[in-house]
């Protein structure tokens, strides 16, 4: 890259790597912005991704003009690496939410509820989330195609746990969910979408969630 260029890195990696890239770029007169995204395949297709950025303000404002073409929320959260730290917060929240969605579906199925009706109802309340509205539907429809690969999510959770250990933090919820996802990978689900978590919990409970419509 030429001096004066701006590097925008949309991958999810460790904050320390983002800081290293920033310093190496700075030596060459290049601005670096760590800019991991959230929103999955739906956000990418609709141009509504959320971009979490770390780096300097001036190059961020220039790069933002381009990022607005495919994103709905773009925010600079401070120094290099802070975009990745924010993405770790995002993944930690998603991990526990996904487990809650799966457990809710399992409970609803055992209770004899129509799962689509159940989702229609509770997604309008405090339980509302992308995980429930989009991925919960895919679970009910037995659609485990990847919007975001299980193996990539496990990689992200590993980074989050490593960063938590550096900060002397105990995150038992994240640790538990990572184990379930690793079990899913051991069962051959590495290339499934993250909604494949349902399969790991089904195996644990010896049950298969099928929508009322399919049963009929």
Please give the positions annotated as active site: 87
Q: Which of 185, 30, 12, 29 is nearest to 83 (CA)?
A: 12
CB burial string 94-116: b at 16+ within 10 A, e below: bbebbbebbebbbebbeeebbbe
Residue 13 CA from chain centroid, whole number: 13
Collapsed DSSP state (helix, strand, coil) of residue 38: strand
C-alpha separations of 178 from 64, 98, 140, 171, 185 in Å = 33, 11, 22, 11, 10
Residue 181 CA from chain centroid, whole number: 13
């Amino acid at each position: 890259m030429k001096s004066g260029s701006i590097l925008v890195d949309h991958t999810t990696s460790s904050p320390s790597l983002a800081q290293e890239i920033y310093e190496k770029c700075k030596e060459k007169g290049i601005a670096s912005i760590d800019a991991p995204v959230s929103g999955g395949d739906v956000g990418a297709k609709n141009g509504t991704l959320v971009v979490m950025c770390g780096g300097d303000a001036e190059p961020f404002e220039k790069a933002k003009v381009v990022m607005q073409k495919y994103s709905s929320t773009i925010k600079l959260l401070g120094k290099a690496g802070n975009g990745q730290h924010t993405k770790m917060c995002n993944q930690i929240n998603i991990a526990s939410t996904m487990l809650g969605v799966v457990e809710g579906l399992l409970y609803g199925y055992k209770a004899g509820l129509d799962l689509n009706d159940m989702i229609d109802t509770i997604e309008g309340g405090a339980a509302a989330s992308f995980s429930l509205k989009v991925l919960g539907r895919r679970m009910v429809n037995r659609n485990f195609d990847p919007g975001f690969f299980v193996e990539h999510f496990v990689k992200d959770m590993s980074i989050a746990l490593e960063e938590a250990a550096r900060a002397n933090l105990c995150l038992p919820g994240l640790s538990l969910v990572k184990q379930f996802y690793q079990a899913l990978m051991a069962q051959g689900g590495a290339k499934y979408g993250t909604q494949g978590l349902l399969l790991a919990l089904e195996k644990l409970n010896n049950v298969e969630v099928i929508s009322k419509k399919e049963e009929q």
